[in-house]
Amino acid sequence: MSDSTKYSFEIDADLTEKQTLASMTLARDDIKEVLYGGAKGGGKSVFGCLWCFEKAVEIIEMCEIKERKHPIPIGFMGRKRGIDFTNTTLETWKRFIPEELYEIKGKPAEIVIANRVKILTGGLDNGDIVNKFNSAEYGFFFIDQAEEVDAAQIGELRATFRLIINGKKIPGKGLFTANPAQSFLKEEFILNPTPNRVYIQALPTDNHHLGPEYIEVLKDSFKNRPELLKAYLEGSWDSLGGFDQVIKDSWVSNASQLTLYPPTIKKLITCDPARYGNDETVIYYMENTEIKEVEIYGQKSLMHTANVLHTLSHKHGNCLIAVDACGIGGGVVDRLIEMGDNVLAIDNAGKADEPEKYYNKRAEIWCRAADMFAGNDIELKNIESRLTGQLCTPAYEFRNGKILIESKADIKKRLGNSPDRADAYVNGLYALEFVEGEIIGGRGTYSNGFDDEDDIYAGGYSAMAM
Protein backbone atom coordinates (compact mmCIF):
# COMPACT_ATOMS: atom_id res chain seq x y z
CA MET A 1 0.00 0.00 0.00
CA SER A 2 1.13 3.53 -0.63
CA ASP A 3 0.90 6.54 1.67
CA SER A 4 -1.76 7.93 -0.62
CA THR A 5 -4.12 5.10 0.34
CA LYS A 6 -7.20 6.49 2.09
CA TYR A 7 -8.52 4.73 5.13
CA SER A 8 -11.88 5.03 6.81
CA PHE A 9 -11.52 3.99 10.42
CA GLU A 10 -15.17 4.45 11.29
CA ILE A 11 -16.85 1.53 13.06
CA ASP A 12 -20.59 1.41 13.51
CA ALA A 13 -20.53 0.26 17.14
CA ASP A 14 -23.74 0.17 19.14
CA LEU A 15 -22.24 0.89 22.56
CA THR A 16 -24.17 0.50 25.76
CA GLU A 17 -24.45 3.46 28.13
CA LYS A 18 -21.80 1.95 30.42
CA GLN A 19 -19.42 1.30 27.51
CA THR A 20 -19.86 4.91 26.40
CA LEU A 21 -19.19 6.12 29.94
CA ALA A 22 -16.02 4.00 30.13
CA SER A 23 -14.79 5.38 26.80
CA MET A 24 -15.40 8.96 27.90
CA THR A 25 -13.70 8.33 31.23
CA LEU A 26 -10.58 6.91 29.59
CA ALA A 27 -10.45 9.96 27.34
CA ARG A 28 -10.10 12.30 30.32
CA ASP A 29 -6.62 13.74 30.91
CA ASP A 30 -6.75 13.03 34.65
CA ILE A 31 -7.56 9.31 34.30
CA LYS A 32 -4.86 6.71 33.69
CA GLU A 33 -6.71 3.44 34.27
CA VAL A 34 -10.24 2.10 34.26
CA LEU A 35 -11.58 -1.16 35.66
CA TYR A 36 -14.66 -2.01 33.62
CA GLY A 37 -17.23 -4.70 34.28
CA GLY A 38 -17.50 -6.50 37.56
CA ALA A 39 -20.25 -8.91 36.45
CA LYS A 40 -21.06 -11.41 33.73
CA GLY A 41 -22.53 -10.15 30.48
CA GLY A 42 -21.52 -6.51 30.75
CA GLY A 43 -19.88 -6.42 27.32
CA LYS A 44 -16.34 -6.32 28.74
CA SER A 45 -14.30 -7.99 26.00
CA VAL A 46 -16.20 -6.23 23.23
CA PHE A 47 -15.54 -2.85 24.81
CA GLY A 48 -11.86 -3.68 25.32
CA CYS A 49 -11.37 -4.55 21.66
CA LEU A 50 -13.24 -1.49 20.41
CA TRP A 51 -11.30 0.79 22.75
CA CYS A 52 -7.91 -0.60 21.65
CA PHE A 53 -8.79 -0.02 18.01
CA GLU A 54 -9.95 3.50 18.87
CA LYS A 55 -6.65 4.18 20.69
CA ALA A 56 -4.63 2.94 17.72
CA VAL A 57 -6.50 5.25 15.34
CA GLU A 58 -6.11 8.15 17.77
CA ILE A 59 -2.33 7.64 17.93
CA ILE A 60 -2.06 7.36 14.13
CA GLU A 61 -3.87 10.63 13.67
CA MET A 62 -2.27 12.52 16.57
CA CYS A 63 1.27 11.59 15.53
CA GLU A 64 0.58 11.73 11.77
CA ILE A 65 2.02 8.26 11.26
CA LYS A 66 2.40 7.23 7.64
CA GLU A 67 2.64 3.74 6.22
CA ARG A 68 5.85 2.00 7.25
CA LYS A 69 7.75 -1.15 6.42
CA HIS A 70 7.93 -1.83 10.14
CA PRO A 71 4.76 -0.67 11.93
CA ILE A 72 5.31 0.92 15.35
CA PRO A 73 4.31 -1.14 18.40
CA ILE A 74 1.98 1.09 20.40
CA GLY A 75 0.10 -1.13 22.87
CA PHE A 76 -0.58 -4.54 24.35
CA MET A 77 -3.69 -6.71 24.67
CA GLY A 78 -3.63 -9.85 26.77
CA ARG A 79 -4.95 -12.26 29.35
CA LYS A 80 -3.43 -14.47 32.00
CA ARG A 81 -3.19 -17.41 29.60
CA GLY A 82 -2.27 -17.00 25.98
CA ILE A 83 -4.58 -19.79 24.84
CA ASP A 84 -7.56 -18.09 26.49
CA PHE A 85 -6.71 -14.80 24.79
CA THR A 86 -6.49 -16.50 21.41
CA ASN A 87 -9.70 -18.48 21.84
CA THR A 88 -11.82 -15.69 23.31
CA THR A 89 -10.58 -12.09 23.24
CA LEU A 90 -8.91 -12.33 19.84
CA GLU A 91 -12.02 -13.97 18.42
CA THR A 92 -14.06 -11.08 19.82
CA TRP A 93 -11.73 -8.65 18.00
CA LYS A 94 -12.32 -10.52 14.74
CA ARG A 95 -16.09 -10.36 15.21
CA PHE A 96 -16.35 -6.64 15.97
CA ILE A 97 -13.49 -4.97 14.08
CA PRO A 98 -13.97 -4.98 10.27
CA GLU A 99 -11.37 -7.26 8.74
CA GLU A 100 -10.34 -4.73 6.08
CA LEU A 101 -9.01 -2.42 8.82
CA TYR A 102 -6.25 -4.69 10.16
CA GLU A 103 -4.02 -7.70 9.60
CA ILE A 104 -2.99 -10.37 12.09
CA LYS A 105 0.58 -11.58 11.81
CA GLY A 106 2.75 -14.02 13.72
CA LYS A 107 2.41 -16.01 16.93
CA PRO A 108 1.71 -14.54 19.43
CA ALA A 109 -0.51 -12.44 17.20
CA GLU A 110 0.44 -8.90 16.26
CA ILE A 111 -2.49 -6.80 15.08
CA VAL A 112 -1.27 -4.45 12.36
CA ILE A 113 -3.45 -1.45 11.58
CA ALA A 114 -3.12 0.31 8.21
CA ASN A 115 0.56 -0.69 7.97
CA ARG A 116 1.29 2.08 10.44
CA VAL A 117 1.08 0.72 13.97
CA LYS A 118 0.66 -2.63 15.65
CA ILE A 119 -0.81 -3.95 18.89
CA LEU A 120 1.08 -6.80 20.51
CA THR A 121 -0.99 -9.56 22.12
CA GLY A 122 -0.61 -12.70 24.18
CA GLY A 123 -0.69 -14.33 27.57
CA LEU A 124 1.10 -13.29 30.74
CA ASP A 125 1.94 -16.97 31.22
CA ASN A 126 4.50 -16.51 28.43
CA GLY A 127 7.81 -15.55 30.03
CA ASP A 128 9.18 -14.14 26.79
CA ILE A 129 6.26 -11.70 26.53
CA VAL A 130 6.58 -10.54 30.12
CA ASN A 131 10.36 -10.13 29.82
CA LYS A 132 9.86 -7.81 26.83
CA PHE A 133 7.91 -5.40 29.04
CA ASN A 134 11.24 -4.29 30.53
CA SER A 135 12.26 -2.63 27.26
CA ALA A 136 8.85 -2.06 25.66
CA GLU A 137 7.35 1.39 25.11
CA TYR A 138 3.56 1.40 24.93
CA GLY A 139 0.84 4.01 24.89
CA PHE A 140 -1.88 1.73 26.27
CA PHE A 141 -2.73 -1.77 27.41
CA PHE A 142 -5.88 -3.84 27.78
CA ILE A 143 -5.98 -6.86 30.12
CA ASP A 144 -9.08 -8.99 29.74
CA GLN A 145 -10.33 -11.06 32.74
CA ALA A 146 -7.75 -9.25 34.84
CA GLU A 147 -8.89 -10.92 38.05
CA GLU A 148 -6.78 -13.88 36.91
CA VAL A 149 -3.55 -11.84 36.70
CA ASP A 150 -0.83 -11.21 39.31
CA ALA A 151 -0.21 -7.67 40.48
CA ALA A 152 3.54 -7.99 39.85
CA GLN A 153 2.99 -8.62 36.14
CA ILE A 154 0.76 -5.57 35.91
CA GLY A 155 3.47 -3.47 37.56
CA GLU A 156 5.86 -4.38 34.77
CA LEU A 157 3.25 -3.53 32.17
CA ARG A 158 2.52 -0.16 33.76
CA ALA A 159 6.21 0.71 33.49
CA THR A 160 5.95 0.60 29.67
CA PHE A 161 4.12 3.96 29.51
CA ARG A 162 6.93 5.90 27.88
CA LEU A 163 5.98 5.91 24.21
CA ILE A 164 7.10 8.91 22.11
CA ILE A 165 6.32 9.11 18.39
CA ASN A 166 7.46 11.95 16.14
CA GLY A 167 8.35 13.96 19.21
CA LYS A 168 4.94 13.55 20.83
CA LYS A 169 4.61 11.83 24.22
CA ILE A 170 1.63 9.47 24.32
CA PRO A 171 -0.25 9.65 27.66
CA GLY A 172 -0.38 6.10 28.97
CA LYS A 173 -3.80 4.51 29.48
CA GLY A 174 -4.74 1.14 30.95
CA LEU A 175 -7.99 -0.80 30.74
CA PHE A 176 -8.84 -3.81 32.89
CA THR A 177 -11.97 -5.90 32.48
CA ALA A 178 -12.87 -8.39 35.18
CA ASN A 179 -15.43 -10.43 37.02
CA PRO A 180 -15.53 -9.99 40.81
CA ALA A 181 -12.72 -11.86 42.59
CA GLN A 182 -10.36 -11.50 45.50
CA SER A 183 -7.50 -9.84 43.64
CA PHE A 184 -5.39 -6.66 43.52
CA LEU A 185 -8.17 -4.99 41.51
CA LYS A 186 -10.50 -4.78 44.49
CA GLU A 187 -7.91 -2.94 46.56
CA GLU A 188 -6.72 -0.60 43.80
CA PHE A 189 -10.03 0.30 42.17
CA ILE A 190 -12.75 -0.24 44.76
CA LEU A 191 -11.44 -0.08 48.34
CA ASN A 192 -8.58 2.42 48.03
CA PRO A 193 -8.49 3.87 44.52
CA THR A 194 -6.10 6.66 43.60
CA PRO A 195 -7.63 9.72 41.88
CA ASN A 196 -6.47 8.55 38.46
CA ARG A 197 -8.13 5.12 38.71
CA VAL A 198 -11.86 4.60 38.17
CA TYR A 199 -14.13 1.57 38.51
CA ILE A 200 -17.13 1.49 36.17
CA GLN A 201 -19.55 -1.27 37.00
CA ALA A 202 -21.38 -2.91 34.11
CA LEU A 203 -24.05 -5.50 34.90
CA PRO A 204 -25.87 -7.84 32.50
CA THR A 205 -28.93 -5.63 32.97
CA ASP A 206 -26.89 -2.73 31.55
CA ASN A 207 -26.27 -4.58 28.29
CA HIS A 208 -29.21 -4.22 25.89
CA HIS A 209 -27.59 -6.75 23.55
CA LEU A 210 -28.38 -9.59 25.97
CA GLY A 211 -31.76 -11.27 25.91
CA PRO A 212 -33.72 -11.95 29.13
CA GLU A 213 -32.83 -15.63 28.87
CA TYR A 214 -29.22 -14.80 29.80
CA ILE A 215 -30.27 -13.84 33.32
CA GLU A 216 -32.19 -17.09 33.67
CA VAL A 217 -29.14 -19.09 32.56
CA LEU A 218 -27.04 -17.38 35.25
CA LYS A 219 -29.65 -18.07 37.90
CA ASP A 220 -29.90 -21.72 36.91
CA SER A 221 -26.13 -22.23 36.66
CA PHE A 222 -25.49 -20.85 40.15
CA LYS A 223 -28.68 -21.76 42.01
CA ASN A 224 -26.61 -23.40 44.75
CA ARG A 225 -23.93 -20.70 44.64
CA PRO A 226 -25.68 -17.60 45.94
CA GLU A 227 -22.37 -15.85 46.54
CA LEU A 228 -21.28 -16.41 42.93
CA LEU A 229 -24.69 -15.46 41.58
CA LYS A 230 -24.60 -12.26 43.59
CA ALA A 231 -21.16 -11.51 42.19
CA TYR A 232 -21.87 -12.26 38.54
CA LEU A 233 -25.41 -10.88 38.44
CA GLU A 234 -25.16 -7.94 40.82
CA GLY A 235 -21.43 -7.21 40.59
CA SER A 236 -20.75 -7.84 44.28
CA TRP A 237 -17.03 -7.99 45.06
CA ASP A 238 -17.69 -8.64 48.76
CA SER A 239 -19.46 -11.98 48.46
CA LEU A 240 -16.62 -14.17 47.17
CA GLY A 241 -14.01 -14.25 49.92
CA GLY A 242 -13.29 -17.90 50.75
CA PHE A 243 -16.23 -19.17 48.71
CA ASP A 244 -14.42 -20.85 45.84
CA GLN A 245 -14.82 -24.38 47.24
CA VAL A 246 -16.80 -26.62 44.93
CA ILE A 247 -18.18 -28.60 47.88
CA LYS A 248 -18.47 -26.86 51.22
CA ASP A 249 -17.45 -28.44 54.51
CA SER A 250 -20.90 -27.86 56.01
CA TRP A 251 -22.56 -29.79 53.19
CA VAL A 252 -20.35 -32.84 53.79
CA SER A 253 -20.90 -32.62 57.53
CA ASN A 254 -24.64 -32.47 56.96
CA ALA A 255 -24.51 -35.56 54.71
CA SER A 256 -23.08 -37.55 57.61
CA GLN A 257 -26.12 -36.60 59.74
CA LEU A 258 -28.84 -37.37 57.20
CA THR A 259 -30.93 -40.50 56.85
CA LEU A 260 -32.48 -40.89 53.42
CA TYR A 261 -35.42 -43.12 52.53
CA PRO A 262 -35.08 -43.89 48.81
CA PRO A 263 -37.63 -46.18 47.15
CA THR A 264 -34.89 -48.17 45.40
CA ILE A 265 -31.32 -49.24 46.01
CA LYS A 266 -28.67 -48.70 43.37
CA LYS A 267 -25.44 -50.67 43.52
CA LEU A 268 -22.18 -49.84 41.75
CA ILE A 269 -18.40 -49.84 42.05
CA THR A 270 -16.35 -46.75 41.33
CA CYS A 271 -12.59 -46.69 40.78
CA ASP A 272 -9.94 -44.02 40.42
CA PRO A 273 -6.92 -46.10 39.33
CA ALA A 274 -3.23 -45.44 39.87
CA ARG A 275 -0.19 -47.51 39.03
CA TYR A 276 3.36 -47.20 40.33
CA GLY A 277 3.49 -43.54 41.38
CA ASN A 278 2.61 -42.13 44.79
CA ASP A 279 -1.09 -41.77 43.98
CA GLU A 280 -3.66 -44.17 45.38
CA THR A 281 -5.89 -46.63 43.59
CA VAL A 282 -9.29 -46.05 45.19
CA ILE A 283 -12.18 -48.49 44.87
CA TYR A 284 -15.56 -47.91 46.52
CA TYR A 285 -18.55 -50.23 46.45
CA MET A 286 -21.58 -47.95 46.83
CA GLU A 287 -25.24 -48.52 47.59
CA ASN A 288 -26.94 -45.31 46.55
CA THR A 289 -24.74 -42.57 48.02
CA GLU A 290 -23.32 -44.66 50.85
CA ILE A 291 -19.87 -46.28 50.68
CA LYS A 292 -20.21 -49.89 51.84
CA GLU A 293 -16.83 -51.42 50.96
CA VAL A 294 -13.40 -49.87 50.37
CA GLU A 295 -10.20 -50.98 48.66
CA ILE A 296 -7.33 -48.46 48.68
CA TYR A 297 -3.76 -49.28 47.76
CA GLY A 298 -0.73 -48.13 45.80
CA GLN A 299 2.07 -49.68 43.77
CA LYS A 300 -0.10 -52.29 42.01
CA SER A 301 -0.43 -53.11 38.33
CA LEU A 302 -3.47 -52.22 36.26
CA MET A 303 -4.25 -55.92 35.78
CA HIS A 304 -4.32 -56.34 39.55
CA THR A 305 -6.85 -53.52 39.77
CA ALA A 306 -8.96 -54.97 36.96
CA ASN A 307 -9.08 -58.33 38.76
CA VAL A 308 -10.09 -56.68 42.06
CA LEU A 309 -12.90 -54.83 40.31
CA HIS A 310 -14.07 -57.93 38.45
CA THR A 311 -14.22 -59.98 41.65
CA LEU A 312 -16.00 -57.26 43.63
CA SER A 313 -18.58 -56.73 40.89
CA HIS A 314 -19.27 -60.48 40.73
CA LYS A 315 -19.73 -60.50 44.53
CA HIS A 316 -22.45 -57.85 44.23
CA GLY A 317 -24.47 -59.26 41.38
CA ASN A 318 -22.30 -58.10 38.48
CA CYS A 319 -23.02 -54.46 39.26
CA LEU A 320 -21.81 -51.55 37.16
CA ILE A 321 -18.12 -50.58 37.42
CA ALA A 322 -17.38 -46.88 36.83
CA VAL A 323 -13.73 -46.16 36.02
CA ASP A 324 -11.89 -42.87 35.55
CA ALA A 325 -10.68 -43.62 32.02
CA CYS A 326 -8.34 -40.65 31.64
CA GLY A 327 -4.72 -41.73 31.16
CA ILE A 328 -3.95 -45.16 32.56
CA GLY A 329 -7.60 -45.87 33.37
CA GLY A 330 -8.21 -46.84 29.76
CA GLY A 331 -6.19 -50.02 30.27
CA VAL A 332 -8.39 -51.04 33.20
CA VAL A 333 -11.53 -50.42 31.15
CA ASP A 334 -10.23 -52.51 28.24
CA ARG A 335 -9.41 -55.46 30.51
CA LEU A 336 -12.80 -55.34 32.25
CA ILE A 337 -14.56 -55.35 28.88
CA GLU A 338 -12.51 -58.39 27.88
CA MET A 339 -13.74 -60.15 31.03
CA GLY A 340 -17.35 -59.33 30.18
CA ASP A 341 -18.00 -56.81 32.93
CA ASN A 342 -20.51 -53.97 32.81
CA VAL A 343 -18.27 -50.90 32.60
CA LEU A 344 -18.83 -47.14 32.47
CA ALA A 345 -15.70 -45.30 31.27
CA ILE A 346 -15.68 -41.71 32.54
CA ASP A 347 -13.55 -39.25 30.55
CA ASN A 348 -13.14 -36.29 32.90
CA ALA A 349 -11.33 -34.31 30.19
CA GLY A 350 -14.12 -34.89 27.71
CA LYS A 351 -17.04 -32.71 26.69
CA ALA A 352 -19.73 -32.02 29.24
CA ASP A 353 -23.38 -32.88 28.61
CA GLU A 354 -24.08 -29.17 29.12
CA PRO A 355 -21.08 -27.59 27.36
CA GLU A 356 -22.55 -24.11 27.60
CA LYS A 357 -22.19 -24.28 31.40
CA TYR A 358 -19.21 -26.53 32.10
CA TYR A 359 -15.63 -26.38 30.83
CA ASN A 360 -15.34 -30.18 30.69
CA LYS A 361 -16.83 -33.39 32.06
CA ARG A 362 -14.87 -33.09 35.31
CA ALA A 363 -16.49 -29.73 36.04
CA GLU A 364 -19.94 -31.13 35.32
CA ILE A 365 -19.43 -34.17 37.55
CA TRP A 366 -18.10 -32.15 40.48
CA CYS A 367 -20.84 -29.53 40.18
CA ARG A 368 -23.54 -32.19 40.07
CA ALA A 369 -22.04 -33.71 43.22
CA ALA A 370 -22.03 -30.27 44.84
CA ASP A 371 -25.71 -29.82 43.93
CA MET A 372 -26.50 -33.18 45.54
CA PHE A 373 -24.64 -32.27 48.73
CA ALA A 374 -26.27 -28.83 48.84
CA GLY A 375 -29.73 -30.30 48.20
CA ASN A 376 -29.53 -32.85 51.05
CA ASP A 377 -29.54 -35.71 48.54
CA ILE A 378 -26.51 -37.53 49.98
CA GLU A 379 -26.33 -39.85 52.97
CA LEU A 380 -22.69 -40.59 53.80
CA LYS A 381 -22.37 -42.10 57.26
CA ASN A 382 -18.98 -42.85 58.84
CA ILE A 383 -17.06 -40.85 56.24
CA GLU A 384 -13.33 -40.97 56.91
CA SER A 385 -11.44 -37.72 57.36
CA ARG A 386 -9.24 -38.00 54.25
CA LEU A 387 -12.26 -38.30 51.98
CA THR A 388 -13.91 -35.37 53.75
CA GLY A 389 -10.82 -33.23 53.28
CA GLN A 390 -10.45 -34.15 49.62
CA LEU A 391 -14.12 -33.49 48.85
CA CYS A 392 -13.73 -29.97 50.23
CA THR A 393 -10.39 -29.26 48.55
CA PRO A 394 -11.03 -28.42 44.85
CA ALA A 395 -11.70 -24.81 43.95
CA TYR A 396 -13.68 -23.56 41.00
CA GLU A 397 -13.40 -20.59 38.70
CA PHE A 398 -15.35 -19.13 35.82
CA ARG A 399 -13.29 -19.32 32.62
CA ASN A 400 -14.50 -18.31 29.18
CA GLY A 401 -18.06 -18.22 30.46
CA LYS A 402 -17.96 -21.75 31.88
CA ILE A 403 -17.29 -23.37 35.25
CA LEU A 404 -13.83 -24.92 35.54
CA ILE A 405 -12.77 -27.12 38.46
CA GLU A 406 -9.20 -27.08 39.74
CA SER A 407 -7.31 -29.96 38.12
CA LYS A 408 -5.88 -32.94 40.00
CA ALA A 409 -2.40 -31.86 38.94
CA ASP A 410 -2.89 -28.35 40.33
CA ILE A 411 -4.31 -29.70 43.59
CA LYS A 412 -1.37 -32.06 43.96
CA LYS A 413 1.03 -29.19 43.29
CA ARG A 414 -0.76 -27.01 45.85
CA LEU A 415 -1.21 -29.61 48.62
CA GLY A 416 1.28 -32.36 47.87
CA ASN A 417 -1.27 -35.11 47.28
CA SER A 418 -3.92 -35.97 44.72
CA PRO A 419 -7.67 -36.06 45.59
CA ASP A 420 -8.03 -39.66 44.39
CA ARG A 421 -10.64 -40.63 47.00
CA ALA A 422 -12.83 -37.65 46.26
CA ASP A 423 -12.60 -38.18 42.50
CA ALA A 424 -13.63 -41.81 42.91
CA TYR A 425 -16.62 -40.82 45.04
CA VAL A 426 -17.98 -38.01 42.86
CA ASN A 427 -17.58 -40.26 39.81
CA GLY A 428 -19.65 -42.81 41.69
CA LEU A 429 -22.38 -40.24 42.35
CA TYR A 430 -22.42 -39.41 38.65
CA ALA A 431 -22.59 -43.09 37.68
CA LEU A 432 -25.70 -43.67 39.82
CA GLU A 433 -27.85 -42.24 37.04
CA PHE A 434 -26.79 -45.15 34.82
CA VAL A 435 -27.95 -47.80 37.32
CA GLU A 436 -31.45 -49.21 37.47
CA GLY A 437 -32.48 -49.39 41.10
CA GLU A 438 -33.91 -52.42 42.86
CA ILE A 439 -37.14 -51.75 44.77
CA ILE A 440 -36.53 -51.99 48.49
CA GLY A 441 -38.71 -54.69 50.02
CA GLY A 442 -41.82 -53.30 51.71
CA ARG A 443 -40.98 -49.68 50.94
CA GLY A 444 -43.47 -49.43 48.10
CA THR A 445 -46.40 -50.48 50.36
CA TYR A 446 -45.41 -48.33 53.33
CA SER A 447 -48.33 -46.44 54.84
CA ASN A 448 -48.55 -44.12 57.78
CA GLY A 449 -52.19 -43.14 57.43
CA PHE A 450 -51.63 -40.30 54.95
CA ASP A 451 -53.09 -40.21 51.47
CA ASP A 452 -50.56 -40.92 48.71
CA GLU A 453 -50.38 -37.27 47.74
CA ASP A 454 -49.38 -36.40 51.29
CA ASP A 455 -47.16 -39.43 51.93
CA ILE A 456 -43.69 -38.22 52.83
CA TYR A 457 -42.27 -41.28 51.06
CA ALA A 458 -44.21 -40.86 47.83
CA GLY A 459 -42.23 -39.79 44.80
CA GLY A 460 -38.59 -40.38 45.73
CA TYR A 461 -36.11 -39.35 48.37
CA SER A 462 -36.94 -38.01 51.78
CA ALA A 463 -34.37 -36.87 54.31
CA MET A 464 -34.34 -36.62 58.08
CA ALA A 465 -31.55 -35.25 60.21
CA MET A 466 -30.35 -37.64 62.85
Which residue in 309, 326, 227, 305 sits closest to 268, CA to CA?
A: 309
Phi and psi at 299, nearest 5°, equal: 60, 40
Confidence bin at 89 (pLDDT 50/70/90): very high
What angle is formed at CA 55 by the lines to CA 206 and CA 203, rounded to 5 degrees? 10
Could you give the percent of the chain with pLDDT greater than 70?
90
Peptide bond into 355 cis (omega under 30): no
Determine the 3-state secondary structure of 38 from DSSP. Answer: coil
Residue pair 361/326 in contact by the 8 Å Cβ criterion: no
> Which of 187-196, 411-420, 444-453 has the lowest average pLDDT?
444-453
Q: 171-221, pLDDT tens digit by residue?
A: 999 999 988 776 788 878 987 889 999 999 888 887 777 777 778 887 888
Average pLDDT on 9-28 reads 88
pLDDT at residue 445, as a whole number? 35
pLDDT at 413 over 80: no
| Contact status, residue 260 vs residue 289, Cβ threshold 8 Å | yes
Which of 425, 430, 458 is CA-nearest to residue 444?
A: 458
Of 370, 415, 421, residue with least CA distance to 245: 370
Res 8: pLDDT: 61
pLDDT of residue 151: 82
pLDDT band at 465 (very low <50, low <70, confident <90, very high): very low
* Helix residue ranges per DSSP H, 103-150: 127-132
Contacts of 151 (CB under 8 A, 6+ apart): 183, 184
Q: Which domains occur in the chain, in start order?
A: 17-228 (3.40.50.300), 249-439 (3.30.420.240)
Q: Which amino acid is at 252?
A: V
What's the rounded mean pLDDT across residues 303-326? 96
CA 404 vs. chain centroid, Å, equals 3
The band of 358, judged by pLDDT with boundaries at 50, 70 and 90, is very high
Alpha helices, DSSP H only, in 33-78?
Answer: 44-63
Q: How confident is the model at residue 412 (pLDDT cuts 50, 70, 90)?
A: confident
Nearest to 90 by CA among 404, 356, 402, 400: 400
Q: Is 164 exposed, middle or buried (0-12, 13-18, 19+ CB in 10 A)?
A: exposed
Higher pLDDT, 292 or 187: 292
Determine the Cα–Cα distance for residues 15 and 46; give it in Å rounded to an integer: 9
pLDDT digit string, tens, across residues 101-115: 999 999 999 999 999
**Strand 110-113 to 117-123 pairing:** antiparallel
Q: Is 200 left (phi over 0), alpha (psi -120 to 50) or beta?
A: beta
Cβ neighbours around 162 below 10 Å, total: 12
* Structure confidence by residue, pLDDT tens digits, 134-185: 999 999 999 999 988 888 889 899 999 999 999 999 999 999 998 877 678 8
- Share the mean pLDDT of the chain: 87
